[in-house]
Amino acid sequence: MKPEQFPEDLRPHLTPRPEGEMVYDCLACGAKHPSDQLLYTCPGCGGLLLLRDLQFDRLRRRPGDFWRRLFDHRLMLNERATSGVFAFHEFLAPSIPVEDIVYLGEGRTPVVPAPPELAREVGAAFCFKLDGQNPSASFKDRGMAVALSFLKHLARVKSLGTVMAVCASTGDTSAAAALYAASLGGAVKSAVLLPKGRVTPQQLSQPLGAGATVFELPGVFDDCMKVVELLSEKYQVALLNSKNPWRVLGQESYAYEVAQQFDWELGDLALIVPVGNAGNVTAILSGLLKLVAAGAVDRLPKIVAVQSERANPVYRYYRQPLGARSYAPVIVRPSVAQAAMIGDPVSFPRLALLAAEYEKTAGGPSFFVVEASEQAIMDCMLLANRRGLTICTQGGECLAGLKAALAQDLITPSETAVLDSTAHALKFVDFQNAYFDGRLKDEYGVSTRPELANRPRELSLRGAPEPSGTMSKADRELFVKTAAAEIAAALDLTPKSA
Ligand code: F0G
């Protein structure tokens, strides 16, 4: 729709202008640092940072309905910069000018309801938000769009020259980082550190294809993260892990989109989120808190964070009684939810802080953590994929988490669960195939349920010639006839009446 066709009061706001006062806020010592620099930890005490808009209160001067209408109308505006996560510019990263926004088609991912028979089987109505439909096929693009927009902005105003961007990854951050860096055409080069043998071949192909420098390290993600942290401490590099607080801002867009896709009524929803490095769940909590603070929503949804039994430091923390909780990293064991296989989540201090603030704002228990077995994760992923939902193993973890939350009465069947399908099924298809072949037993302890397994069939084609380019007409006819007859018999097809 053309700008002049929008309601008059919204027209001046359709294209956002830079505004607000973003500062890095240290969660450990409370120091505030100007945001016109690359910072990943507090220069004073080394604490973890969040970005805050010191002028956030200006958003409160308008009624909540203004923001709902503005964001709803932006859906009809054909402006690329605000077609993705920056549709929520005022809440997200208001200091970044529109001209610096990097847009590769991220955000606005669909919410797809589970078919009724699957909902009945699970015991509650639920849907998946298919974040695997982002450009690099995972939710990481949301955060990367903002991190790279900021980098582009900073490079322009400070004439930085070529920037080297680095990240450690279980496979999806690296794919997104390499893609968004590549889109800037040489202004940003990227290097990614991956745990050897612990990312899927599809994930490995992504940064290679985008031209990143790829390092495979022995160990697990937590080891790669430590190396990248040291690199960012000692050298001039841009860190693209969610330790970078601009990434967290971008991932808040998931919460804004869910609110919009449910007509800004969140009270009867439960958002289910898989947790690895804890960047995503932190961002979702932060986004929801901003929506309430600005009056754009009245009630908060429940949040259910899910971890595998084999990588569960957050679950272990929250299962301790309130007031007597202590955090300890865990040594991870192989998990099919491999992208979330993290024993010492970098964002844990942010999560603990925001979850407490969230429950205070919601006025009661509303943040829960459950764990899922490897068997449940795999079975749930396959169950959903068999009903038209293209989810990955982390999506399967969400569905297993929903079942656990229902069994523990943390959520009731009258609430609608929104599950985060964080990546596309095809990135993790090797786990599916290994399950079908019965190869997951030893390392992951997962047995194949025969009713979920599926393999290609071969035909015997007894008496039929092998097809080749030089086949005679008669031979080809015989081959086609034999194959069709065998397939019809296998499928028990009914012949058409003459
Ligand atoms: N799901 C997928 C598909 C992921 O790639 C990740 C994290 C998570 C869930 C967990 O999200 O870390 O924000 O709690 N992947 C990171 C990576 C660590 O390097 O790609 P989180």
Ligand 1 midpoint to CA 395 (Å): 11
Q: Is 422 in the pocket of ligand 1 (CB under 6 A)?
A: yes
Output the residue whose Cα is nearest ligand 1's atom 10.
276
Instruction: Kindly report the backbone phi and psi dihedral angles of residue 210, in degrees, each rounded to the nearest multiple of 5, phi listed first.
Output: -85, 0
Helices (H), 294-426: 313-318, 348-362, 374-385, 393-407
Q: Is 278 in the pocket of ligand 1 (CB under 6 A)?
A: yes
Q: Is 401 in the pocket of ligand 1 (CB under 6 A)?
A: no
Q: Is 274 in the pocket of ligand 1 (CB under 6 A)?
A: yes
Handedness of CA 417, 420, 424, 429 (dihedral sign): negative
Ligand 1 midpoint to CA 340 (Å): 5
Burial track 288-299 (b if 16+ CB lie within 10 A, e otherwise): bbbbbebbbbee
Atom index in ligand 1 nearest the CA of residue 132 equals 3
Q: Give the angle subtended at the CA of 142 by the CAs of 174 and 147, to the nearest 5°.
A: 70
Output the residue whose Cα is nearest ligand 1's atom 8.
340
* Amino acid making up residue 102: V
Q: Is 207 in the pocket of ligand 1 (CB under 6 A)?
A: no
Question: What distance, in Å, lies between the first and last C-alpha atoms of the chain?
Answer: 55
Q: At a CB cut-off of 8 Å and minimum separation 6, what does 219 contact?
A: 195
Q: Is 138 in the pocket of ligand 1 (CB under 6 A)?
A: yes
Separation CA 283–CA 84 (nearest Å): 17
Separation CA 337–CA 372 (nearest Å): 10
H or E segment to which residue 112 belongs: strand 111-113
The model carries a pTM of 0.97
Q: Is 313 in the pocket of ligand 1 (CB under 6 A)?
A: no
Atom index in ligand 1 nearest the CA of residue 282 equals 13
Q: Which residues pair with 168 in a beta bridge?
A: 193
Q: At a CB cut-off of 8 Å and minimum separation 6, what does 492 contact?
A: none
Q: Name the one residue in this structure whose structure tokens are 């290609």.
A: 456
Output the residue whose Cα is nearest ligand 1's atom 19.
169
Q: Is 184 in the pocket of ligand 1 (CB under 6 A)?
A: no
Ligand 1 midpoint to CA 195 (Å): 14
Ligand 1 midpoint to CA 338 (Å): 9
Separation CA 329–CA 345 (nearest Å): 8
* Amino acid making up residue 357: E
Atom index in ligand 1 nearest the CA of residue 275 equals 14
Q: Is 132 in the pocket of ligand 1 (CB under 6 A)?
A: no
The first and second tokens of residue 483, run together, are: 């194959």
- CA quadruple 282, 285, 289, 292: dihedral, nearest 10: 160
Q: Which of 280, 286, 369, 431 to mutate to test the pocket of ligand 1 (most atoms within 8 A of CB)?
A: 280
The first and second tokens of residue 85, run together, are: 């996560």
Please name which of 305, 315, 343 lies closest in space to residue 195, comparing C-alpha atoms. 343
Q: What is the pLDDT along the chain (498 residues), one digit of tens a residue?
A: 999 999 999 999 999 999 999 999 999 999 999 999 999 999 999 999 999 999 999 999 999 999 999 999 999 999 999 999 999 999 999 999 999 999 999 999 999 999 999 999 999 999 999 999 999 999 999 999 999 999 999 999 998 889 999 999 999 999 999 999 999 998 999 999 999 999 999 999 999 999 999 999 999 999 999 999 999 999 999 999 999 999 999 999 999 999 999 999 999 999 999 999 999 999 999 999 999 999 999 999 999 999 999 999 999 999 999 999 999 999 999 999 999 999 999 999 999 999 999 999 999 999 999 999 999 999 999 999 999 998 999 999 999 999 999 999 999 989 999 999 999 999 999 999 999 999 999 999 999 999 999 999 999 999 999 888 889 999 999 999 999 999 999 999 999 997
Q: Is 107 in the pocket of ligand 1 (CB under 6 A)?
A: no
Q: Which of 139, 167, 169, 170 to mutate to test the pocket of ligand 1 (most atoms within 8 A of CB)?
A: 170
Q: Is 253 in the pocket of ligand 1 (CB under 6 A)?
A: no
Q: How many CA atoms lie within 13 A of 259 on its CB side?
A: 28
Q: Is 340 in the pocket of ligand 1 (CB under 6 A)?
A: yes
**Is residue 458 within 8 Å of 374, Cβ to Cβ?**
no
Q: Is 276 in the pocket of ligand 1 (CB under 6 A)?
A: yes
Ligand 1 midpoint to CA 113 (Å): 23
Output the residue whose Cα is nearest ligand 1's atom 12.
277
